[in-house]
């Protein structure tokens, strides 16, 4: 009986190409519209939802991400949930997924598919000029906080402390 060597199988199997193109540890990033995003993070419960708008290409966004990872750990015992909303182009979903895998992001990440920014930016907050990063906090369906610009760890921690009360 002829036994295929594993290398041969890998070399000739068309599945090998599939294996190459798929990284099984990569989670697909869900695409949400603005209403779906609100239903995810603007809930009638006492969890503090921290929603951070970012993009893989945005250096200050990527720079402040560890503050959110750290805060999520620090406030693990409290009802705090960090949600990352990517503003990458929809066709860049693979890039976002790769980023999530590489940075080992444990929090929920969504790719926003909300259409005209001139419409949805004001829904997030009328104060928002449109630059990222930007961060919103919700609790009991209420918007408690909005910031356009990056956080320092101390600033983020103290805002969370303040809003948890």
Partner 1 sequence: MKIKKTINLIAAAAIITLASFTEGGYKVGDKAADFKLKNTIDNKMVSMADYKDAKGIIVVFTCNHCPFAVKYESRIMNLDKKFKAKGFPVIAISPNDPTIVSDDSPENMAKLAKDKKYSFPYLFDETQETAKTYGATKTPHVYILLKEKSDYIVKYIGAIDDNADDEKVVKEKYVENAIENILAGKPVTPETTKAIGCGIKWKKV
Residues at the site binding partner 1, with contacts judged by CB under 8 A: 55, 57-60, 87, 89-91, 116-118, 121-122, 127-132, 147-149, 155, 158-159, 162
Which residue number, 6 or 126, has a Cβ lying nearer to partner 1?
A: 126
Residue that is written with structure tokens 């603007």 in the block: 42
Question: Which of 147, 154, 161 has its CA nearest to residue 67?
Answer: 154
Min separation Cβ 45 and partner 1, Å: 25
Which residue number, 23 or 158, has a Cβ lying nearer to partner 1?
A: 158
Which residue number, 34 or 43, has a Cβ lying nearer to partner 1?
A: 34
Residue pair 160/139 in contact by the 8 Å Cβ criterion: no
Integer Cα distance of 97 and 85 in angstroms = 12
Q: Which residues pair with 86 in a beta bridge?
A: 54, 111
Which SS3 state, helix, strand or coil, does residue 144 take?
Answer: strand
Min separation Cβ 109 and partner 1, Å: 17
Residue pair 156/68 in contact by the 8 Å Cβ criterion: yes
Which residue number, 13 or 131, has a Cβ lying nearer to partner 1?
A: 131
141 φψ region: left (φ > 0), alpha (ψ -120 to 50), beta (else): left
Min separation Cβ 116 and partner 1, Å: 4
| Pairing assessment for the beta strands 142-148 and 80-86 based on DSSP bridges | unpaired
Total Cβ atoms within 10 A of residue 57: 13
Which residue number, 51 or 55, has a Cβ lying nearer to partner 1?
A: 55
Min separation Cβ 9 and partner 1, Å: 41
């Amino acid at each position: 009986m002829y036994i295929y060597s594993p290398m041969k199988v890998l070399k000739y199997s068309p599945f090998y190409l599939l294996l190459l193109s798929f990284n099984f540890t990569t989670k697909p990033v869900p695409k949400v519209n603005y209403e779906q995003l609100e239903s995810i993070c603007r809930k009638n419960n006492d969890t503090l939802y921290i929603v951070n708008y970012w993009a893989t290409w945005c250096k200050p966004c990527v720079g402040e991400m560890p503050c959110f990872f750290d805060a999520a750990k620090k406030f693990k015992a409290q009802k705090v949930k960090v949600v990352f909303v990517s503003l990458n182009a929809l066709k860049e979903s693979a890039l976002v997924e790769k980023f999530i895998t590489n940075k080992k992001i444990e929090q929920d990440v969504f790719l926003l598919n909300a259409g005209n920014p001139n419409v949805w930016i004001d829904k997030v907050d009328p104060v928002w000029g449109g630059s990222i990063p930007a961060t919103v906090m919700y609790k009991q369906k209420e918007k408690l906080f909005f910031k356009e610009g990056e956080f320092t760890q101390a600033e983020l921690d103290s805002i969370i402390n303040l809003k948890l009360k």
